[in-house]
Structure 1
Amino acid sequence: MPDVIIPGPAGRLEGKYSPSKTPGAPVALILHAHPRGGGHMDTPVSTMMYDEFKERGFSVLRFNFRGVGRSQGTYDQGLGELSDAATALDWAQAHNPNASYCWVAGHSFGAWIAMQLLMRRPEIAGFISVSPPTNMYDFSFLAPCPASGLIAHGESDAIVPHDEMERAMSKVRTQKGIIMTHDIIKGAGHLFTDHLEPLEASVKTYLDKRLPEVDVERAEMANTGKR
């Protein structure tokens, strides 16, 4: 798990990167929770998602948004952080030019950034969105959502109540054939303290089901000449 420094739009971005040993392996980008709420790339949720993609043969990158850890710059209300995420994905793709597809995964603020990136990058085939802060940010940009993914939320989340998340996400339109899977983790709060294992089980179950389907979809697209 080598440390990496990525040239970012506001200076260097500190990251950790695990390259796959398989040629053409997919890429995954992990985005952490709010920089001003203690979020950083080594929190338990971010590390868990990183490890899950790594175990499935992805080339995986997680990094600190601007102003966090050794990343340069200052917090920029999400605008700069979206640029950071796009730059980090560009870096990962440059190191994996034959990657078959990409996934994004984010926790809280990182989930909001991940979903915005999803709308801008058609090569992203799926997402993991943990505790999306639907009561703090507008998610109406998902119009329509272009890829299937998992939304995992804590039943006892006091920061973003799960019924508020369900209400907001139920209004999101999706493209034909796209499914947004919801999983409410019993007893869990926003940070999944003492509930990381059931969250991990949810992510494992979803990836083990979804990834074979993505492989089939990508093969069919290649056979028909679509991208």
Structure 2
Amino acid sequence: VDYLTPHQAHFSEDESDRLARNPLRLLDTKSKILRDILDGAPKMSAYLSDESIDRHTLFKDQLHTLGIPYVENEHLVRGLDYYNDTVFEWTTECLGAQGTLCAGGRYDTLVAQLGGSPTPAIGCALGLERVLELLESEPIATEPSLIVLSESKAQPYVQSVARTIRSRYPQFRIGVDLKEGALKKQLKRAQQQQYTWALILETETHYRFKCLKTDITPIDGTLDTLNQQLDTLIFGT
């Protein structure tokens, strides 16, 4: 606010009102004049607490682990005041100017503000029409299907392994189970969801396949041989 106030003569009436009521909303302005002014403004990242920095660093590390590309945007804000810490958008270059598919963030204090118990929370809004438009160009998932499960110590690798398999076999249904619980319960959920195979990660490097529709003996292996097993045993490529 201290930085922007001397520039207020260049603001529209609406922008002046935002400066008084909710100055962060000015960061997503479409005005070229205001964008040029904001280029010289102090960056929010310079004022994060140590706790927020640690949380943000952990979040980025997880994105790296999953192979998800991202861009940090100091001007990204949400239109509602209850958001805290991380806010995000998922974008695509395939839909022209309408490239935002999903937007949201954390609102860990909202439930308490409404009279409930403090509850960590995250949410988003998804543009279903845009997602459907993208899906029109994607192959339709067919059988067989595979779900990636894990023993507890291999849980951090579930999403990255599943992502790798999806990129190699986009025509098939590849799922994950991120719920905490015994492997027996994970397998039961997988059967209820009618998956054909389960890839069970036992450690960072070892796995076993289990067929969920027949009594084939589970097959053990290491991640070094995973692609070969997927090609010959499951997807028949």
TM-score (norm. length: structure 2):
0.32
* Greater Rg by CA: 2
If the length of structure 1 is used for normalisation, what is the TM-score?
A: 0.33
Using CA pairs under 8 Å that are at least 6 residues apart, name the structure with larger relative contact order, 1 or 2.
1
